[in-house]
Structure 1
Amino acid sequence: MELVTIDDVRAAAERIKAVAVRTPLVRMGEAWVKPESLQPVGAFKIRGAYNAVASLRPDGVVTHSSGNHGQALAYAAKEFGVPCVVVVPEGTPRVKTDAIRGWGAEVVVVPPEQRESVAEKTAAERGLTLVPPYDHPAIIAGQGTVGLEIVEDLPDVEVVLVPVGGGGLASGVSTAVKALRPDARVIGVEPELAGDAAQSLAAGRVVVWEPARTFRTIADGLRTCLSELTYAHLNARLDGIVTVTEDEIRAAMGHLARRARLVAEPSGAVATAALLSGRVPAGRTVTVLSGGNVDPDLLRQVI
């Protein structure tokens, strides 16, 4: 299987530079945070979605999403003047579905196990291009620009902690970081209650957890499983993976708000949760805060 290269990531960086924010590294104690919550759609997903639409130039797009990719694709589709349909699972936070509609996309709500099949059916029936949330080289290359910026801003980085859901972000970040700084360690982080990636890497193959199992975690953006493409990237380039508890995720959300003045949704806080847990390698560390689209009531609870 052909993997995304650093040249693909650099090409993506050129395509998205007028749209995606070049987020800074924010000091938090002895570590740094990469706050992708500062993107126009509140999450890193704008990088991959915009790169995909700019590369494919479709007449219209459809996707399935837990929320952030849907927002990003809706934003990109609006920029290019094409229609967008986003299929979301029941239980998707309203703050995310409202934002998707706000960017002009149509939202279709389905049971979690039907999100992919309904998106594929919609693509076929309406003649739309399916842009998956992580299972595409253009998506991975776009997300890899996060890693490119980390190494440019902190050339002697030693550890990068990155959330893992479907694996697109971790695939891209590990591609860029390992190409530019081979000695740095890239560690994936996921919730214990959606630990399919850790199990997959341990088993040497993709292990799929059913939605009823992954939907137990508060980290709604990390409930998806790896694809064969993202598994291949993580198996080749990730240095390890750790899991965090629900209590650790909540504590990390509060820590980011109080110590770094940064808003994180649960999925965005898992990398910081791993850092605070002490279960990761020591060194000059960057944690990727992947998104800040959090329900206000939940944010009040954790603070």
Structure 2
Amino acid sequence: MPPPEQYKTKTSYLVRVTMESSPVEGVTLEVLKDAWDTVKSSPLGVINTPMISGNQTTLPLNTLCNFHMKMENLQRTGSFKIRGVANQFARKPTGIPLVTMSAGNYGKAFAYALKHYGCKGKVVMPETAPASRSTLIESLGAEVERVPSSHLLDVVNRCVLQEKMTFLHSIDDIDLIAGHSSLGFEILEQMPNPDVVVVCCGGGGLLAGVAAAIKLSGCNNTLIYGVEPEGACTMFRSFIEMKPVSMDTQSIASGLAPPFAGALPYRICRQFVQEIVLVSDEQIMAAVADLYQAGFVVEPSGAASFAALANGKIPDVAGKKVVLVLSGGNVGMDELTDFKKTL
């Protein structure tokens, strides 16, 4: 599903806006580094994931840039989400019932943390999320309730008001974003002063955290790009309309398809992110296939950054040091089979 007609005048579906100059309250280098220390010492066992040079792979990418892949598909629980969850759980009271909403990856990390800390909790999932994701979350001991995407917040509110549960937000939470920023600091440890960093974007928490960590560390010349599916372009629309927006989302990359852009991630992205680019579901599926054939199991949501580079969506990369964040690897065999049939 392509962007609405009013957005098609933008060259290559790419948005550049004037960045905010005023800092977002609570988002400082000190706060983010404190979260990084929390994530590194977390009992949840967050991994410092490897960075692999594209030159060391068989990926069929015809580009003149020096690209590297940050392999969050190898992370504990299969995605970057454990970073934010580790910081959230370290700063929130435990022993009380918790509820969240997630299409899969955050829910898996959330359920993993619930099990470790001995807490009860529920994950409210959109019906469009693969069934294998909810089965996996339930196997970790968390309750799952699948509902239409438009009803997610209503069900969460019911759990809070009627079931006396405490809500942990999977997108709009400063502790979560600060935890995700640990990925940005790791990138700088492995590649100081990258020219370009490309990050998959759903609600915007990862993009906001990585961008803030890199920019506040003094990498003023590093250009940071967010990548969204054409059918789930909430941050793209938010940049155009200059406010967080909601939309009916539809994409093979369910992890990048929340029905809204987070208000806090939007403000941080406005301050630190250069551009938002869009890729089609077909380009995402091709990226998953290319990565798989090269030996990397990456889910559609995690492959969007590779799809953007492979399809020329990131401008002016010739001769540049480019980091692609492959944000997750939670893809079932049923999904891989479907992709093979489609391609």
Which of 171, 195, 208 is the matching residue for 1:158?
Answer: 195
Alpha-carbon distance in 1 for matches of 2:26, 2:234: 21
Greater Rg by CA:
2
Alpha-carbon distance in 2 for matches of 1:238, 1:291: 21
Residue 157 (structure 1) shift:
1.1
- In structure 1, the residue matched to 2:261 is 226
Contact 1:159–1:185 (Cα < 8 Å) also in 2: yes
Contact 1:88–1:108 (Cα < 8 Å) also in 2: yes
Contact 2:85–2:113 (Cα < 8 Å) also in 1: yes
Q: Secondary structure at the match of 2:330?
A: coil
Contact 1:66–1:221 (Cα < 8 Å) also in 2: yes
- In structure 1, the residue matched to 2:275 is 240
Q: Deviations over 1:93-136 (max 9, x none)?
A: 12211111121101111121111221122122232220011100
Alpha-carbon distance in 2 for matches of 1:78, 1:183: 42
Which of 30, 46, 53 is the matching residue for 1:27?
Answer: 53
Q: Secondary structure at the match of 1:243?
A: strand
Contact 1:174–1:234 (Cα < 8 Å) also in 2: yes
Which of 29, 42, 55 is the matching residue for 1:6?
Answer: 29
Which of 224, 228, 241 is the matching residue for 1:190?
Answer: 228
Contact 2:182–2:210 (Cα < 8 Å) also in 1: yes
Residue 301 (structure 1) shift:
4.8
**2:112 partner letter:** Y
Counterpart check, 1:122 vs 2:162: no
- Change over 3 Å in CA distance of 1:112–1:301 after alignment to 2: closer
Q: Secondary structure at the match of 2:228?
A: strand
Alpha-carbon distance in 1 for matches of 2:193, 2:208: 21
Of the structure 1 ranges 130-139 and 108-117, higher mean CA displacement relative to structure 2 is found in: 108-117
Contact 1:65–1:89 (Cα < 8 Å) also in 2: yes
**2:54 partner letter:** M
Of the structure 1 ranges 29-38 and 45-54, higher mean CA displacement relative to structure 2 is found in: 29-38
Counterpart check, 1:296 vs 2:322: no
**2:253 partner letter:** A
Residue 221 (structure 1) shift:
0.5
**2:216 partner letter:** A
Counterpart check, 1:47 vs 2:80: no
- In structure 2, the residue matched to 1:99 is 136
- In structure 1, the residue matched to 2:173 is 136
Q: Deviations over 1:231-272 (max 9, x none)?
A: 10111111111000111101111122223x211111110000
Alpha-carbon distance in 2 for matches of 1:254, 1:107: 30
Q: Secondary structure at the match of 1:294?
A: coil
- In structure 1, the residue matched to 2:18 is none
Counterpart check, 1:203 vs 2:277: no
- Change over 3 Å in CA distance of 1:3–1:200 after alignment to 2: farther
Contact 2:205–2:262 (Cα < 8 Å) also in 1: no
**1:247 partner letter:** E
Per the normalisation by structure 1, the TM-score is 0.94
**2:31 partner letter:** D
Q: Deviations over 1:43-84 (max 9, x none)?
A: 111111121011112322110111111111111122211111
Which of 78, 81, 100 is the matching residue for 2:115?
Answer: 78
Contact 1:144–1:173 (Cα < 8 Å) also in 2: yes
Contact 2:39–2:182 (Cα < 8 Å) also in 1: no
Alpha-carbon distance in 1 for matches of 2:162, 2:86: 24
Contact 2:197–2:222 (Cα < 8 Å) also in 1: yes
Contact 2:69–2:326 (Cα < 8 Å) also in 1: yes
Alpha-carbon distance in 1 for matches of 2:289, 2:338: 9
> How many residues in Structure 1 have an aligned counterpart in Structure 2?
298
Contact 2:170–2:176 (Cα < 8 Å) also in 1: yes
Alpha-carbon distance in 1 for matches of 2:114, 2:38: 15
Q: Secondary structure at the match of 2:328?
A: coil
Aligned-CA RMSD value: 1.5
- In structure 2, the residue matched to 1:36 is 72
Residue 198 (structure 1) shift:
1.1
Contact 1:31–1:284 (Cα < 8 Å) also in 2: yes
Unaligned stretches of 5+ in structure 1? none
Q: Secondary structure at the match of 1:144?
A: helix
- In structure 2, the residue matched to 1:112 is 149
